[in-house]
Amino acid sequence: MLFLYFRIGDEGFAMTIDRIVEVMPLTELKKVRQAPEGVAGSFDYRGRFIQVIDLCTLELGRPAHRRLSTRIIVIRHPQDDTVLLGLIAENATEMLRLDPAEFAPFAPGPHGLVQRVELEGLIPAPLLAAVCSQPVTGQ
């Protein structure tokens, strides 16, 4: 199975690519007024605005480092494929081919051990519901 490898601080993670639409360079974000903690902003993705969550802000209390390897992962919502969400993740530049059975709960990765995660395990349920129930719409 194919996974996207990324980091949150010093920890490595792997997410299956089945719901990932695109991994793109970090772009300028528009701040969303009164957005919940962790929402970094929104941007125009192919004619529609999607909200972006910074995984480092959620997990570490600081924004992701702005580096060439810091990317926005555009992903489909688990319950509604029409809802897109962006995730800012550090070092999101490598793919891993692993057997899901290798995660117990860690598997060998390119820079040490990696843990398998899904969107629901990364984003608290109330934040995921809030961001996806009130999408930012474009013109």
108 φ, ψ (degrees, to nearest 5): -70, 135
Which residue did the predictor score with more confidence, 38 or 131? 38
Write a three-state SS string for 44-106: EECCEEEEEEEHHHHHHCCCCCCCCCCEEEEEECCCCCCCEEEEEEEEEEEEEECCHHHCCCE
Domains along the sequence of the chain with CATH: 2-133 (2.40.50.180)
pTM: 0.90
Beta strand pairing call for 112-116 and 106-109: antiparallel
What is the tens place of the pLDDT at every residue in 10-47?
A: 999 999 999 999 999 999 999 988 888 889 999 999 99
Q: Pick the more confident residue, 116 or 77.
A: 116
| Residue pLDDT, tens place only, 95-127 | 999 999 999 889 988 889 999 999 988 999 888
